[in-house]
Amino acid sequence: MKKINLAWGKHNLILGEHTCIMGVLNVTPDSFSNGGKFFTFDDAVAQGRKLFEDGADILDIGGESTRPFSDAVSAEEEIERVVPVIEKLARHVSIPISIDTTKAGVARHAIKAGASMINDVSSLRLDPEMADVAAEYGVPVILMHMLGTPKTMQISPSYDDLIGEIKAFLENAIDHAENKGIPRSKIIIDPGIGFGKTVEHNLLLIKHLREYITLDVPILVGPSRKSFIRNILKDKTEKDISPDPAVLETGSQAAVAAAVLNGAHIVRVHNVANTRATVKIIDAVKNVRNSS
Check if 268 is active-site. yes
The residue from 230, 268, 286, 289 that is catalytic is: 268
Residue among 224, 161, 168 at smallest CA distance from 31: 224
Task: Give, for 82, the enclosing helix (H) or strand (E).
Answer: helix 75-90
Q: Find the helix or strand (DSSP H, E) in which 187 lies.
A: strand 187-190
Q: Catalytic site residue 180?
A: no
DSSP string, 38-51: T-SHHHHHHHHHHH
Give me the catalytic one of 88, 108, 225, 226. Answer: 226
Kindly list the distances between the CA atom of residue 151 and the CA atoms of 66, 72, 125, 193, in Å, as whole numbers in the listed order: 8, 8, 15, 16
Burial class from Cβ neighbours inside 10 Å (0-12, 13-18, 19+) for residue 24 reads: buried
Active site residues: 226, 268
